[in-house]
Amino acid sequence: MKSSRAEFALSGGTPSFSEAIPFGQYHVPDEAGYRSVLERIEASGYFTNHGPLAREFEASLAEFLGVAHVVLCTNESLGLSMALKGMQVDGRVLVPALGYPELVESVVWAGLEPVFCDVDPETHQISPRILEAAAQDGVGAAVIMEMWGNRCDADGLMEVAQRCGLQVLFYPADGFGSMRGGRQITRPDQTTLFSFQSTRLLSTMEGGCLATDDDHFAAVLRNIRSSYGAGEPTAVPVTANGRFSELQAGLGLWGLERIDSSLEHNRALCDAYREAIGSAPGLTIYEVSEGVQSNHQCLVLRVDGERSGLSRDDLLRMLEAEHVVASRGIGPCLPEVPGFRAWATGGRLPVAEQLAHELLLLPVGSGMSVESASKIGGLVASAGQVLS
Amino acid sequence: MKSSRAEFALSGGTPSFSEAIPFGQYHVPDEAGYRSVLERIEASGYFTNHGPLAREFEASLAEFLGVAHVVLCTNESLGLSMALKGMQVDGRVLVPALGYPELVESVVWAGLEPVFCDVDPETHQISPRILEAAAQDGVGAAVIMEMWGNRCDADGLMEVAQRCGLQVLFYPADGFGSMRGGRQITRPDQTTLFSFQSTRLLSTMEGGCLATDDDHFAAVLRNIRSSYGAGEPTAVPVTANGRFSELQAGLGLWGLERIDSSLEHNRALCDAYREAIGSAPGLTIYEVSEGVQSNHQCLVLRVDGERSGLSRDDLLRMLEAEHVVASRGIGPCLPEVPGFRAWATGGRLPVAEQLAHELLLLPVGSGMSVESASKIGGLVASAGQVLS
């Protein structure tokens, strides 16, 4: 706990940490864990293209998610493009203005035109009301991004989507392991896209999967991914190289076996942050919606610079000086990304624009101790009063 | 050596190998090798997105290839799509009818229309003469696939391309480590795409890279790949998630350090095959063009069933019974792949069609001994006379 200006590293004090605290999850194997993965690859002689570990990982994921079909793919961006191609979307694709650039890229690579909509100020997601307002002429599908380990009101969204004739893809980018209504998958009758990128609770370094109960659409996805694992030939508009390597699958199987303890560790870190930050003025901790069990994927703060005394970017600089790597979580609001402006045809997007300047994600993950979380939380809580 | 029908496993004899001899390269680390890779990843705390190992691998590849810029990407298929987008091709994309389906898929994902041409019967590649004949109206670019560790007549091809106003991308899918005119890269002023898929001499399980001396085009490629490593912002038509993980980079660095011994081992296997097969009737061993130093990526046989007594598919069945996994090398001729027929607008493609039924690739790679190669070569050489 630093209680005077001089103690903060920004003012010449000693940094709180001698080594940088990285941002992100990084639930990766130790040496014995890697050895067990590599021994299995060595024994099978398969290295990629729907080998035995990939098949086992698909089956384990299907069981964990409670879904009939899981289709692994190289990374989540290609998975999103594959799903949109398979959906044969007729029209533009609605995407939230608060999201990752990959979201937009995947729509464009699928040969479709994105269009941005705003997000809900509480959930940071597309709500049924927003979907209805944005379902203007020419929108054929919506990508519902589920943020910060929260999950969306899928049933409410599907009611609107069906009424407005929209197809929907659910994309809990960082939501693997969180649940709503006891369900891991967003809507079993639709398609849910998960990411296994290295900052996720379940990591294959890069990778992702599509999950659905729909037998026909699963066959379409497998045929689009092509090569081994395509299963029965099914007419598809295009095929792709969406191969998942055995090393990715081995890392995934290792992580899935340990998902409960990874989640518990993150929960303990988030609890420590909450306790340390408490009700510091101007800092609001993001909470998942009622009925959602979070995966504690991240600790997200919304910083009201007027009330806290320091802006989000001031806090990032303070933490950097203390050797803590925090994150804006998301870059600029998507319409501000170079090349993306043309797709902001629906006017201003005030909530997404404001959130993009106010969000601060604190480090969580396997490499961090609860003590570090308490210390970082204390820095964030006191900095506003001491440094402003 | 089996000299009577009854000795062959197809006729009830004992298989030549008690365990299956896999097809492919698989130059992958042993346990100590993996440990060294993992220790570096652990120490850096980076797992993907242009981390320190990916940067080092790019630099090492640039030095090895003798080229100014190397841009790593998730897999070679995405690399091909990225390059075609960056080239802003105006027109259709000429691809050889003898090639991998991924070749066609990548053109389609780049939003372009492929068109097939035939290949040269000696090199199995597009020759300058074929390029000139196929450069009909509406073709804007050609993907020159370099086959079986051979390299193409790049200067001759570029002369035609420039005269006909075509852009060119060189794609030695399995040519990493082979050279023509002392050069690893096909043409430094153009772009060469390499594959690091697990069956290649240099493997990252999945992965690839684009290499060029062209500063501007390299910047375009880096910006298309996007995220970290994009470098100075450059106007590009689209961005993509082409991230290369640190594990891929670590495997690549390990393999690149040992490329000479991997190549030497393959050379010894190919020599053993040549000696065992000799001048068996109807079997022609593929030879690289004059002036090319092969990487001995594969031993390719062309099987004349009339003369040898057994067809290519007969030989595959014979080998399978002996527990040897050989390969057709390439699936059906590309216009015969479901969904691809519409792009065969240039009429019949007799050479590619015939080769697709006559090629047989024998196993090569790190897991094989010279004795096994001799034994397999002997089986192939004698089967025609004994079994036909």
Which structure tokens are listed for A70?
């899981």
Domain boundaries, chain B: 5-25+259-327+363-387, 31-257
**Taking the CB of residue A121, how many other CB atoms lie within 10 A of it?**
13
| DSSP class of B336 | G
By residue count, chain A amounts to: 388
* Helix H or strand E segment including B380: helix B370-387
Q: What are the CA-CA distances from residue A264 to residues A274, A294, B11 (Å)?
A: 15, 11, 60
Which structure tokens are listed for B64?
């090895």
The CATH classification of domain A31-257, taken from the options 3.40.50.720, 3.40.640.10, 3.30.2320.20, 3.90.480.10: 3.40.640.10
Q: Does the distance separating the beta carbons of B48 and A205 come in below 8 Å? A: yes
Mutate one of B19, B30, B109, B223 to test the A interface: name it (highest A CB count within 10 A).
B109
> Phi and psi for A354 in degrees, rounded to 5?
-70, -45
Q: Please give the Cα distance from A303 to A280 (Å, whole number).
A: 10
Q: How many CB pairs under 8 A join A and B?
A: 109
Which structure tokens are listed for B19?
């365990």
| 3-class SS of residue A80 | helix
- Give me the pLDDT at residue B32, please: 84
C-beta separation of A116 from A351 below 8 A = no
CA nearest A31 in B: which residue? B35
Q: Please give the Cα distance from B265 to B296 (Å, whole number).
A: 9
B198-213 b/e (C-beta count within 10 Å ≥ 16 → b): bbbbbbbbbbbbbbbb
Q: Does the distance separating the beta carbons of B22 and A45 come in below 8 Å? A: yes
Contacts of residue B32, defined as CB under 8 A and 6 or more positions apart, other chains included, come to none
Interface of A with B (CB under 8 A): 20, 22, 24, 26, 28, 31, 34-35, 38, 45, 47-48, 74-78, 81, 101-102, 105-106, 108-109, 111, 197-198, 203, 205-206, 226, 233, 236, 238-241, 243, 245-248, 338-339, 367
Q: Does the distance separating the beta carbons of A78 and B241 come in below 8 Å? A: yes
Q: Does domain B5-25+259-327+363-387 have CATH number 3.90.1150.10?
A: yes
The 10s digit of each residue's pLDDT in A105-145 is 999 999 999 999 999 999 999 999 999 999 988 999 999 99
The 10s digit of each residue's pLDDT in A306-324 is 999 999 999 999 999 999 9
Residue B25 pLDDT grade (very low, low, confident, very high; cuts 50, 70, 90): low
Q: Please give the Cα distance from A153 to A128 (Å, whole number).
A: 8
A77 to chain B nearest CA, in Å?
Answer: 6
**What is the CB-side half-sphere exposure of residue A124 using CA atoms within 13 A?**
27
Going residue by residue through chain A, which has 388 residues, state the pLDDT in tens, using 9 for 90 and above.
Answer: 798 999 999 999 999 999 888 877 677 888 788 888 888 888 887 888 899 999 999 999 999 999 999 999 999 999 999 999 999 999 999 999 999 999 999 999 999 999 999 999 999 999 999 999 999 889 999 999 999 999 999 999 999 999 999 999 999 999 999 999 999 999 999 999 999 998 899 999 999 999 999 999 999 999 999 888 888 888 888 889 999 999 999 999 999 999 999 999 999 999 999 999 999 999 999 999 999 999 998 999 999 999 999 999 999 999 999 999 999 988 889 999 888 988 888 778 999 999 999 999 999 988 889 999 999 999 999 998 898 8
DSSP A246-294: HHHHHHHHHHHHTHHHHHHHHHHHHHHHHHHHTT-TTEEE--PPTTEE-
Q: What is the maximal distance between C-alpha atoms in chain B?
A: 69
Q: Please give the Cα distance from A129 to A67 (Å, whole number).
A: 28
DSSP B45-102: ---SSS-HHHHHHHHHHHHHHT-SEEEEESSHHHHHHHHHHHHT--SEEEEESSS-HH
Q: Please give the Cα distance from B71 to B220 (Å, whole number).
A: 10
The 10s digit of each residue's pLDDT in B207-264 is 999 999 999 999 999 999 988 888 888 888 888 999 999 999 999 999 999 999 999 9
A102 vs B contacts (CB less than 8 Å)? 241
| DSSP class of A324 | B
